[in-house]
Amino acid sequence: MTSHNKHVVSILLLTLCCIQPLHGQILQGAWVDQSQAAIEQHRKTDVTVIVLDQADRAVQNATVRLVQQRHDFALGLALPTDRMPPDKARTKPVLRCVNMIALDRYTNWAQAMELPLAVQAKRLTAWTEALEPTQINFGPVISADPAKNHDRLSLLKPAELRDAVLARIDLAAIYDPQPDHYDLYADLLDQDMIERKLGQGMLPRMFDRAGSRRPEASFGVRARHAISLQNGRDLANTIQKLEVRQVPFDHVTVEQSFREPIQPNALRRMLDEYIAPLPVAVSLADIEVGGPTPVAAAIKLETLLRLVFAQPNISGITFSGLTDDDVVEDHAALLDDDGKPTPAGEVLDAMFNVLWRSDERGTTDERGNVNARVFTGWYQVSAKLPDGTEIQSRAYIPEDDRAKLIVLQVTAAEAK
């Protein structure tokens, strides 16, 4: 089976969507080749499709196709609170790549939303139904930085503070829609309010409380600006301390803005040295990739995406917003005011909807088998038998060590 579209299409699309050409500034070189090789190794997996007839006999010369619908890698969006989603959002460039939504703007404890709760709920429901996410992230629950919590939280006496923190965790656990991921303790590199006021034993208690309320969910910690040499060291040391103290976190989230140019080799070394060794999966959140021009921002975003997607310990990336109203950095928006992709949006869409998306075809052998190597995620799988019978199914192909086997068998409903 041949692989689908291994050419670097993002720069071509970027050139078409920009008024100014790139003048040969195409991402290439050893680091690009190395990153792509790592992506092929870590983000893809082998799968076998078996086609059988109603009598359990292998069907030879059946045409099989696997079309990827969603990535296993989380491509997230912090949902806006000030507008409804566009019509047919799941089919639109950029938005069709989104498979995870972050509720940070809806669940922010520090800022009282001016929007009535009923309006917030209506908009959140509309976005959730439009994007049909496979993951929902609550965002930060409790912050180590007093300024990020409720105004009076840091003024409470120890017993009152303990009860308020646990009550906040209980409320987060019953939020509707129910999230899959929570950053239970945030800003842990900046402050230490909880430990300073309640002692080291409070953090394990917080995680135990959260796990008892939502045992099926993921609870982790969040840090800001940890993608740097000094902060990377601090993050690694902090995570090690949490492990020693038996804090049961299961992921790490890093907030990051990229104002300066990205040096590919330096960033890759940093990721290899401080992110890869962390004992749990890492995701990037509140991401903004700006630049002095739209093209510069787009090239910087492609650099980041290549390096992040090549790092197997990074499970996802969440963007802080879609339009200029949602972001701070210049030219970091993914959509313009008319809802069309910006140069950065074109890059994101081309990378994950074309370059790093599997659409595989093949013909079954005498055992009824077709083998393929595909990106992990959700698939539409179909087979057309020599007699014209067609079978369609859906499958999730995960990133793990289990054998990936999909059986397509003719039922009475499809039999000719």
Element (H, E) at 251: strand 251-258
Q: Any idea of the CA torsion for 233, 239, 243, 248, to the nearest 10 degrees? A: -170
Assigned CATH class of 45-62+364-416:
mainly beta
DSSP three-state, residue 337: coil
pTM of the complete model:
0.89
pLDDT of amino acid 416: 66
What is the reported pLDDT for 110? Answer: 66
Helices marked H in 43-138 — which ranges? 104-107, 117-131
Helix axes 10-17, 294-309, angle to 10 degrees: 160
- Sign of the alpha-carbon dihedral angle for 160, 162, 166, 171: positive
From CA 229, how far away is CA 274, in angstroms rounded?
A: 8
State percent of the chain over pLDDT 70: 91
Which residue stretches of the chain have pLDDT < 50?
Answer: 1-25, 112
| Cα 27 to Cα 22: distance, rounded to the nearest angstrom | 11
For the stretch 181-196, pLDDT in tens is 999 999 988 778 888 8
SS3 for 82? coil
Burial of 346 (0-12, 13-18, 19+ CB in 10 A): buried
Instruction: Give residue 409's Cα distance to chain centre.
Output: 33
The pLDDT value recorded for residue 340 is 94
CB 373 within 8 A of CB 66: no
Query: What is the domain partition of the chain in residue ranges?
Result: 45-62+364-416, 73-355
- pLDDT score for 17: 41
pLDDT at residue number 21:
37
Listed in sequence order, the DSSP H helices in 72-156 are 104-107, 117-131
Answer yes or no: same fold for 45-62+364-416 and 73-355: no
Contact (Cβ atoms closer than 8 angstroms) between residue 8 and residue 305: no
**Which region, left, alpha or beta, applies to residue 137 given φ > 0 means left and ψ of -120 to 50 means alpha?**
beta
pLDDT given for residue 184 in this prediction? 96
CATH of 73-355, one of 3.30.420.130, 3.40.50.1110, 3.30.70.3280, 3.20.20.80: 3.20.20.80
Torsion sign, CA atoms 49, 375, 180, 344: negative
| C-beta pairs of 126-129 under 8 Å, 24+ apart in sequence | 126/84, 126/85, 127/79, 127/84, 127/85, 127/101, 128/101, 128/177
Q: What whole-number distance in Å separates Cα of residue 395 and Cα of residue 408? A: 11
Measured between alpha carbons, how far is 300 from 323 in angstroms, rounded to an integer?
18
